[in-house]
Amino acid sequence: MSLWAPYAPIPENPEYKKKFLTSPKASITLIALIWIMLATYVIPRAYDYWALFTIELLFLAAWVNGFLFAFASGFRADGGCEYIYNHTTGVEERHCKAGFNQAAFGAAANSSQAVIGLAGALMVLWLVSLIVVSVFITRHRRAGGRHKPEREAPDMIEVSP
C-alpha cells in the first residue's frame, strides 16, 4: 500500500499546466544564465550586449507571465474551503469539498504558494538585472563604445550621468 493511498487525489487541470509551464521556463532560464556568464567572463567574443538586452526582456516577460499564472492555481491556503454569502440568511457559510481538508491537499496548497513566491522573486531579479544591463548599455554608448566589447570605450569610469 502506498503512503499516498489514504489521501484524496488532487484534481488535475490541463489548462493550468499549459499556461503555467514553470519547469520549462526555469530550464531555459538556467541555460540563458549560463550563456550570460560564459559570454561575459569566459568567452568575450560571444558577448553581444544587444543579445543580452533581448534575453533580459524576454525572460522578464516570461517570469511576469509565470508569476501572474501562478495565481491561477486551484489550491487555497485554507484547505479548499470557500465562504459563500447566503442572501436569504445574510450569513457567510463555509463549504468544504470532500477530501480537501486532508494533508495531501494542504501540501499541494503550500507548494503552490512556494511557486508563487519563487516566480515573484525571479520576476523581481530579472527586473533588477534588466535595469543594470540598461544602465551599462547607456553608459557604454554614451562613452563612445560600440557593439562588441573588443571595441571598448576610451574610459568609462570618468563618464558622468
Q: Which helix (H) or strand (E) holds 94?
A: strand 91-96
**Could you say which DSSP state residue 45 is in?**
G
**Residue 137: what residue type?**
I
- Enter the C-alpha cell of residue 143: 562613452
**Could you say which DSSP state residue 8 is in?**
P
Per-residue pLDDT of the chain (161 residues), as tens digits, is 334 334 334 445 554 444 455 567 777 778 888 887 887 788 877 778 888 888 888 888 877 777 777 666 555 555 556 666 677 777 666 666 655 566 766 677 777 778 778 878 888 888 898 898 888 888 877 877 666 555 444 444 554 55
d(CA 121, CA 131): 15
**Residue 92: what residue type?**
E
pTM listed for this prediction: 0.55
